[in-house]
Structure 1
């Protein structure tokens, strides 16, 4: 197993202390109030979390994908919304680093490293969901500008993002359709409206918004890499990071569910003994721990392939698929173990149960992940 460097281990430990000391004692009240975690976001900036993927040359403190995975899990163990507040940001940093021009990198990466500017990505459309190639948002050339028309939905951090990696069609007539897509580095301005915050079951605190582009103008040089038509492939590479990140959010929720359940099962007694000694409860705990460990190893495997420079879209999809399903199981089992208290808003386990479904449907539904996985199985078999 590939271990973390000493400084990476120290960073993970630092984030864990931040979660245990600052977040966990206060998270329940903030989550129930749907309060934006401004102070915690500022602390995350100070910890360097927004610069974890930014190269040193641009002011970042880059870490391995395995280290990033561990940090994401710790944040989600405290509050899944905190991991969401830096997830899309990191994907945009990766996109800029891999595909941006030197001018684009110099313009954005130093500010992204400190969190002075925070980034998000805009893919999903109201009528498209996971079918990205069916998107209707267009960016039409008009002299030296692009004119963007269309809408996006479920965009995390949209009200606070200073940079939006917008996937849209620059050539609607291209065949195959994905050849006509580009990523536009959009910024808030005239013609871009954040129309509303979507009400949600869980994932509170950070906003998920609808965006409307109504004759929104931006220089054509804002296309990532400046050459149109590569956006779909670029975003698919970025989503390797995104899906590993979502898998790690799921790990954090599952870890918190297990942590709380193990503590409660040792403190709560029935029929004269701690409830963990009842076989039915003990079996839940054993299964939770086993599945969580398996999900971690699958996620670390995807992260290690990424660090090795190997293709990992299938592995990231597997990690996201398995870890998110395990998080949902663990959250439900935590409710079972807590009994009536698990249904009470006075305990954190009800929050885990509300947060867990996001990882099943977010960053490409698990049904889409299965399509990605089987497609890669066939392609890699050499028999298609």
Structure 2
């Protein structure tokens, strides 16, 4: 199997490989059997814990590995790339991210000392109890209540779809403590032991996919929780813990889908060269080449986006908009990759032999769990900070479009903005970005400025979602452009105030390769989100111009062929 991350630093590649080797050697061989029989493998969990993976992000003073958000993303990616076991990977990631990290973020010293060492060692498995049968996307409307009593609280209610519910020992449970009205305010978080009287695993839930992960409904009947198990300030659980944890969840857990896409890329390249039809390998057909190339482009662009957000999280920044972009984009393109890989394999894809049918079933959770795609689009539109702040969040490329001598009045004329410095872009970056990409970038920024606060303010959900898709397109392309010159902005641990910028370009992924892939990415992004762009075009001449430019594809088959040849040569 080849590794397909051209941006990973040498200092992280050994860590990536260690997780990959563990998953390949210990997990892959039994994945099909466990999936078919819905088995939770406690022995495998102990081996994972012994390898130091159960406590990756937990501080070393409590027995963890001090892993950053970025390193946790690498780990979940490597795990899936090796074994494509989405279920066991989900249980592991849920344990360390949405189970343990709330205690890391908000726990007091007594709580950390009591729980984190055993969570880090894997002796205890953790989970998060937020969703309820009547409170899914509207998580703030939960009705489980915690009533104060002498020495603590009595919790009554239930939680639905809880990962690790049947096998976990520690759960972060969200319960209403303030007033009787629904909403995110007045919700508190509690650390709950599964041995508590009144704690019941109601039933183990049967699922479409993720059969190697156990999911359950939890019931609480007058369950006493001592006062010292209140996590964080009273009535702040949803706002301070839930949302912070969900940003990590939408980054780290979703990175596993990139690993799964890498697995499918490897097996697709191998199979397409070995499968003979009409007296030649199916890899000689352009339709098959295009499926594989799209897999590569979607995987790489999602990876770049995830790494960008993870690095920002490691620098202490809250990134609700970007985290939601990562979640909706990666989960939806992973669905595309799974579908097209099954199609490439044909009848064999429908069988269990190549493991990809398991990915096809597992991948659907990505657009549902941790907030549906619809919720993510609402978050993107709601957290959009306005044109100037959004443009400031883009890479330095956006600054190069604005002439230094442009006066204030000219800047207000968006028709004159972003047209004048394409040569300066090329000179400053010292790379030849495809003109169609620069034209798109220019028109997109014009549209952003022309809209000011965004067309979603019309209070039409169709426009709101279309605007979110437009933001997704621009961020994906922007982060890909940023990766052309700087692979990662990593913080030097010895000096947190000074970012250490490392330029890296894998010797097998040249500038020519990247420029070709950037052009392909732009085309397939516009194709994927064409309907949304068409909705926005009614209020923007700049979006109309973007759509007109998509009709000017002249060398599509050559671009696909060149990219496929590049991938096939390295397989």
Task: Give the TM bin, normalised by the shorter chain.
Answer: over 0.9
Partner of 1:20: 24
Counterparts of residues 234-383 of structure 1 (less than 5 Å): 234-378=241-385
Q: 1:178 aligns with which of 163, 180, 184?
A: 184
**In the alignment, is residue 142 of structure 1 matched against residue 149 of structure 2?**
yes
SS at match of 1:314: helix
Hey, what's the Cα distance between the residues in 2 that align with 1:272 and 1:191? 67
* CA-CA distance at 1:45 after TM superposition: 0.3
Hey, what's the Cα distance between the residues in 2 that align with 1:62 and 1:349? 33
Contact 2:172 2:191 in 1 (8 A): yes
Q: 2:38 aligns with which of 23, 34, 37?
A: 34
Q: 2:53 aligns with which of 49, 52, 55?
A: 49
Contact 1:249 1:359 in 2 (8 A): no
Q: 1:105 aligns with which of 95, 112, 125?
A: 112
Partner of 2:560: none
**In the alignment, is residue 203 of structure 1 matched against residue 210 of structure 2?**
yes
SS at match of 1:178: coil
Count of aligned pairs between the two proteins: 381
Q: 1:61 aligns with which of 62, 65, 68?
A: 65
- Cα deviation, 1:188-221, whole Å, max 9, x if unaligned, reads 1211110111111110122110001111111122
SS at match of 1:12: helix
SS at match of 1:179: coil
Q: Which runs of 5+ in 2 are unaligned?
A: 1-5, 391-451, 458-571
Partner of 1:74: 78
- Cα deviation, 1:296-320, whole Å, max 9, x if unaligned, reads 1111111011011111122111111
**In the alignment, is residue 87 of structure 1 matched against residue 90 of structure 2?**
no
Contact 1:2 1:304 in 2 (8 A): no
Q: 1:224 aligns with which of 231, 234, 238?
A: 231
Contact 1:147 1:218 in 2 (8 A): yes
SS at match of 1:49: coil
* CA-CA distance at 1:259 after TM superposition: 2.1
SS at match of 1:52: coil
SS at match of 2:231: coil
What TM-score do the two structures reach when normalised by structure 2? 0.64
Hey, what's the Cα distance between the residues in 2 that align with 1:289 and 1:82? 25
Deviant stretches of 4+, over 6 Å: none
Hey, what's the Cα distance between the residues in 2 that align with 1:2 and 1:329? 23
Contact 1:317 1:370 in 2 (8 A): yes
Contact 1:246 1:363 in 2 (8 A): no
After superposing the two structures, state which structure 1 stretch, 86-95 or 53-62, moved more: 86-95
Contact 1:60 1:113 in 2 (8 A): yes
Hey, what's the Cα distance between the residues in 2 that align with 1:257 and 1:196? 34
Hey, what's the Cα distance between the residues in 2 that align with 1:2 and 1:121? 33
What TM-score do the two structures reach when normalised by structure 1? 0.95
**In the alignment, is residue 120 of structure 1 matched against residue 124 of structure 2?**
no
Hey, what's the Cα distance between the residues in 2 that align with 1:318 and 1:16? 26
- Cα deviation, 1:70-101, whole Å, max 9, x if unaligned, reads 11012223111122112222223221122111
Contact 1:254 1:326 in 2 (8 A): no
Contact 2:141 2:184 in 1 (8 A): no
Hey, what's the Cα distance between the residues in 1 that align with 2:32 and 2:287? 29
- Cα deviation, 1:254-289, whole Å, max 9, x if unaligned, reads 222222222211111111221111111011001111
Q: 1:213 aligns with which of 197, 210, 220?
A: 220
Quick one: structure 1 residues 26 and 362, their matched pair in 2 at CA, closer, same or farther if it must change by over 3 Å? same
RMSD: 1.8
Contact 1:246 1:320 in 2 (8 A): no
* CA-CA distance at 1:4 after TM superposition: 4.7
Contact 1:4 1:66 in 2 (8 A): no
Hey, what's the Cα distance between the residues in 1 that align with 2:43 and 2:14? 22
Hey, what's the Cα distance between the residues in 1 that align with 2:9 and 2:234? 38
